[in-house]
Amino acid sequence: MTTINLQQIQKAESLTNAFRIFNELSENLANSYHGLEEQVAKLNGELAAARSERVNTLIEKEKLASRLQQILAALPAAVIIVNAFGQVIDCNNHAIDYLGEPLLGEDWQIVRTRSLQAVTGSPREHQLIDGRRVNITRNLLSNDAEQIILLSDVSELRSLQDLLAQQKHLTAMGEMVASLAHQVRTPLATALLYASQLSNPNVIPEKRQLFAQKILERLHYLERQVNDMLIFAKQGRLAMQHLSLQQLLQQVAESMESYTGVFKIDNFIQVDQLFGNQDALFGALMNLLNNAVEAGAQHIQFSIQQMDAECLQLTISDDGSGIEPHQKDRLFEPFYTSKTNGTGLGLAVVDSVLRAHNGSISCYSEPGAGCIFIITLPCINDYTLGLSAISTDWEKCHEAL
């Protein structure tokens, strides 16, 4: 009996321990479950807060996107977004109005060729099919793969600029007419005076020859003045055709034969066919050379070289009296002159002629150290290229310089 009781007592203790361990485990599980419930509740709260913040962010982004769309639609310009492959992926209504459809998904270069025409002398400006002019600007977006292209209508601005230029030209024409009487009357009176002496039987042959020479000089002077005034009045609108550079240089050389100093022409290029107005170019070159002679130059050098396949550079340098610094800023301004008997049209006409040929002129001078005039001209060999080709060559010419 004692052994049986001992075994029962041991079993009872084992059961008691088992129940105690079970209760402890149950209590631990209950505590863990409660902890998990609290953690789940906390995570649910954080998730709800994050979801609410996300929703608010999306709402703000939608509002911002809507505002940007409204701004984009209200912009008085065409906006085109181009991807890395050159395809139009987005645009506003102005872009469709300017460029027509189809637009989205099209290659930008195809759209540009279809709807935009180059404007001579303005590399950033193009003309739409309906005649409006637009200015093109391009910028890379932050991802460096897409580009935003902006087309701004500058038709009204150009019209105002043309009107202002016309008003300035009319004002200049008025000044020219005012000075015309003096500039023509004085040499004409001199020529008439010498001509009246030719009929005098008492004048010896040597004097007659001198008087005839003086009359011829005055008539040549009048011819130059009239030509300058006519070219200036045309505002650079000249008839263009093929011309020979060699013939132009030969014409200049023959006109400088009476020059008593040293005159040298250095032609370093092989191109002979150009596109322009030979008479106007000849007059512009002679204006520069005559100014050098009048400035007391004893050495005049005229050199021609080719900057690249499309650009010529003509340089006229002399050892004359030079130009004062305060005069250089107004050098090509109409009717500005430092000469007592000058019209101030010579260099203005030179600038006008070169602009008509899509060229340019610059001057480098120091008082007492002579002058250097540098002329750039596009070299056109094919008449079929037309004015658009001249514009392209002029852009290349600027890049080369």
Q: How many CA atoms lie within 13 A of 343 on its CB side?
A: 29
Predicted confidence pLDDT, tens digits, the chain (401 residues): 566 677 777 777 787 887 778 788 888 888 888 888 888 888 888 888 888 888 888 878 777 766 766 666 666 778 888 888 888 888 888 888 888 888 888 888 888 888 888 776 666 788 888 888 888 888 887 666 788 888 888 877 777 877 887 777 677 666 666 666 656 666 777 788 778 877 788 878 888 888 888 888 778 777 766 766 666 666 556 778 888 888 899 989 988 888 888 899 998 887 777 888 888 888 889 889 988 888 888 999 999 988 776 788 999 999 988 888 777 777 777 666 666 555 567 788 788 888 888 888 988 888 888 899 999 988 754 433 333 333 333 333 434 33
What confidence score (pLDDT) does residue 182 get? 59
Instruction: Give the count of beta carbons closer than 10 Å to the beta carbon of residue 207.
Output: 14
Residue of 153, 155, 149 lying closest to 103 (CA atoms): 149
What does the alpha-carbon distance between residue 235 and residue 209 come to, in Å, rounded to a whole number?
A: 39
Phi-psi region for residue 164, left (φ > 0), alpha (ψ -120 to 50) or beta?
alpha
Give residue 84's identity as a one-letter amino acid code. A
Inter-CA distances, 280 with 224, 283, 354, Å? 11, 5, 9
What confidence score (pLDDT) does residue 389 get? 34
Residue of 280, 309, 314 lying closest to 382 (CA atoms): 309
What confidence score (pLDDT) does residue 396 get? 38
**346 neighbors 287 (Cβ within 8 angstroms):** yes
Q: Which residue has the tokens 């520069």?
A: 288
CB environment 85-117: b (16+ within 10 A), e (fewer): eeebeebbebbeebbeeebeeeebeebeeebbe
Residue of 341, 215, 359 lying closest to 285 (CA atoms): 359
Strands (E), 92-250: 116-119, 122-128, 133-140, 147-153, 241-244
Find how far residue 49's CA is from the centre of its chain.
56
Q: Which helix (H) or strand (E) holds 1?
A: none
Strands (E), 258-327: 262-267, 273-276, 299-306, 311-318
